[in-house]
């Protein structure tokens, strides 16, 4: 049953791209929206059938299947706009619903729209994965840079403290010593926090 829901959603998404966006007249727009509403009716019917089938699985106590075939939420049935407009805003971290990850063999062999749908989302997911890998690399570098910067600031104030000490300016020396100690403590705190975070990340992997 998820395969029919997936086909309906893919059809709806591609309709937005091929008919709604290209409709230049009121008549063409009306016909285009009529096709979308037709797909919506089929989608609602398939959703109701799926809900009834899942209810029977609950009655039968099929826990293993229920883990795989989860409840359909309203947000899951929202047609993705990625296919219609790949450059639209607020889609950077958008992901597909759970049923798109179910392996159903042959669901796109006779449907070019599904192939297009999978192609676009596969490329977007690959780009998202690459961006996360880049972010992970940059975060690690930023942790190192932060500790190094705080240590550098501490050393700067140590040098100023030594200069004030040589000139026997007690007030300046005390202030510089306090600043040097503050930056040193900040660097130690940052390093400890980053080490704990890295440890948690390694355990999660």
- What distance separates the 2 farthest-apart alpha carbons in the chain? 89
| H-type alpha helices, the chain | 2-15, 26-60, 63-68, 112-166, 170-204
* pLDDT confidence bin for 200, thresholds 50/70/90: low
Look at residues 90, 166, 80, 155 and name the one whose alpha carbon lies nearest to residue 121: 80
The C-alpha atoms of residue 150 and residue 86 are separated, in whole angstroms, by 42
Average pLDDT over residues 28-53: 83
Average pLDDT over residues 123-135: 86
DSSP-assigned letter for residue 1 = -
DSSP-assigned letter for residue 24 = -
Return the pLDDT at 1.
56
Look at residues 2, 47, 42, 37 and name the one whose alpha carbon lies nearest to residue 16: 37
Tokens of 9: 């959603």
pLDDT per position as a tens digit, 141-159 = 999 999 999 999 999 999 9
Q: At what angle do helices 2-15 and 26-60 cross, to 10 degrees?
A: 160
Three-state secondary-structure class, residue 81: coil
Q: How many CB atoms lie within 10 A of CB 77?
A: 18
* pLDDT confidence bin for 162, thresholds 50/70/90: very high
The C-alpha atoms of residue 178 and residue 130 are separated, in whole angstroms, by 44
Contacts for 91-97: CB closer than 8 Å, 24+ residues apart: 91/124, 92/128, 93/128, 95/125, 95/128, 96/121
DSSP-assigned letter for residue 19 = I
Question: Higher model confidence: residue 201 or residue 59?
Answer: 59
pLDDT at 105 over 80: no
What percentage of the chain carries pLDDT values higher than 90?
Answer: 23
> Which pTM value belongs to this model?
0.50
Return the pLDDT at 203.
47
């Amino acid at each position: 049953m998820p395969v029919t829901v997936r086909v309906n959603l893919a059809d709806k998404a591609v309709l937005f791209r091929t008919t709604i966006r290209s409709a230049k007249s009121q008549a063409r727009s009306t016909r285009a929206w009529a096709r979308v509403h037709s797909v919506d009716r089929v989608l609602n019917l398939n959703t109701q059938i799926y809900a009834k089938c899942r209810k029977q699985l609950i009655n039968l106590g099929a826990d293993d299947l229920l883990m795989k075939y989860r409840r359909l939420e309203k947000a899951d049935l929202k047609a993705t706009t990625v296919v219609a407009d790949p450059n639209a805003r607020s889609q950077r971290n958008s992901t597909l619903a759970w049923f798109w990850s179910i392996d159903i063999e042959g669901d796109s062999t006779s449907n070019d729209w599904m192939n297009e749908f999978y192609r676009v989302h596969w490329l977007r997911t690959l780009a998202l994965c690459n961006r996360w890998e880049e972010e992970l690399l940059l975060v690690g570098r930023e942790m190192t840079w932060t500790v190094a910067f705080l240590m550098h600031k501490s050393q700067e104030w140590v040098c100023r403290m030594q200069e004030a000490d040589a000139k026997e300016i007690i007030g300046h020396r005390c202030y510089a010593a306090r600043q040097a100690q503050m930056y040193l403590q900040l660097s130690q705190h940052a390093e400890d926090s980053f080490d704990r975070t890295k440890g948690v990340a390694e355990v999660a992997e």
